[in-house]
Amino acid sequence: MTYAKTAAFTADQQRLACVAKALAHPARVAIIQLLASKQTCISGDIAAELPLSRTTVSQHLQELKALDLIRGEIDGLTVCYCLNTELLRQVQQQFTAFFSAATAGTACGPEDACAC
């Protein structure tokens, strides 16, 4: 029963944390950047470009796919992965909103205006 204390938070907070977790590993960041830059998107090619075993890369792909951040379409023998740009745009907005709220105030400036 440890760990899943997650349920006690806002849906927004959970959602943001969930997406953040998806980006919380350099391999997944690299995968998204790869998919963004190349059109290739063949699973095998992705694995070849990363310093990880094919199995591990596949696992990361599954995680991204589980959140629907990427999609995979079977094309005969190979699988073609691609970004779900629509969802990514939504996610970007969420992050933007979050950071905007966080950076709005001048909380504890250089002269620590913090009046605690």
Residue numbers of the site for a second copy (CB under 8 A)? 5-6, 8-10, 13-14, 16-17, 20-30, 32-33, 35-37, 39-42, 51-52, 71, 73, 75, 78, 80, 82-85, 88-89, 91-92, 95-96, 98-108, 112, 114-116
φ/ψ of 29, rounded to 5, equals -60, -45
Site string for DNA, 33-52 (x = CB under 7 A): ---------xxxx-x----x
Q: Are 43 and 78 in contact (CB under 8 A)?
A: yes
In 3-state terms, what secondary structure has residue 70? strand
- CA 116 to chain CA centroid, nearest Å: 36
Report CA torsion sign: 34, 39, 43, 49: negative
Residues of this chain, 79-98, that bind DNA according to CB under 7 A: 79
Residues near DNA, by CB under 7 A: 1-6, 21, 24-25, 27, 42-45, 47, 52-56, 58-63, 72, 76-79
